Amino acid sequence: MSRTPIREGLARLWQEGYLDRVVGHGYFVARVTVQQIHDTFDVRRLLEGAAAARARLSSRRRRQTRSGLRALARVPIARSARTTGSPETANVQFHLAIAACARNGLALELIERCLAQVDRFMSLGVNFGQFTENATEAHLQIADAIARARSRRPRGRAWKRTSTAAAA
């Protein structure tokens, strides 16, 4: 393999924040600070709350949205032979579905970036505790709040859920 693809790969990882570049010394795994974690969850909390509030739909589409979100709400507690996918994947799919319901492409993109940042933190060894135990119930509450189309309730449920994950 030539050096060019290696350099391009390192440059991409540096741009995405996985690596730090020190001129004359090379690349090193980027450190994660507590402030970065708090900032990521703060932004995610704001975006997801706004997306949940905006996901209020017309009464005809509300049932479809609710059933779709309820189907994605289940977060497996542990990986087993019967479990398809990981708890992290199920959680991401649910939150991206809420963002998609908001019908705001920029919000969806920013929420994806926040979720990718959380994934990055986890890949570097940050442990957020056991979020899976109450995740399904919290997701169902968010889906139901969106289906009821009350503007403050979905935002509050999403805010509470993200706050709990940030505190873990």
Which residue in the block uniquely carries the two structure tokens 């449920």?
157
Q: Residue 133 — very low, low, confident or very high, per pLDDT cuts 50/70/90?
A: low
- Interval 154-163 mean pLDDT: 58
What's the pTM? 0.69
Partners of 22 in beta bridges: 26
Work out the pLDDT band at 137, boundaries 50, 70, 90: confident
Measured between alpha carbons, how far is 37 from 49 in angstroms, rounded to an integer?
A: 18
Torsion of CA 35, 37, 41, 47, to 10 degrees: 80
Quote the tokens at residue 112. Answer: 């994806």
Enter the tokens of residue 158: 């999403």
Binned at pLDDT 50, 70 and 90, residue 114 comes out as very high
What pLDDT shows up at residue 8? 94
Phi, psi of 121 (to 5 degrees): -60, -45
The residues with which 28 forms a beta bridge, in sequence order, are 20
DSSP state of 78: S
Asked if 107 and 86 touch (Cβ cutoff 8 Å), the reply is no
Confidence band, pLDDT 50/70/90 cuts, at residue 134: confident
CA distance 29 to 131: 26
Question: What was the pLDDT predicted at 57?
Answer: 55
Structure tokens that stand for 116 in this block: 């990718």
Q: How far apart are CA 168 and CA 153, in angstroms?
A: 23
Residue with tokens 């890949």: 123
pLDDT tens, position by position, 33-89: 899 999 999 999 999 888 888 876 544 455 566 678 878 887 776 554 444 567 788
Tokens of 28: 């090193």
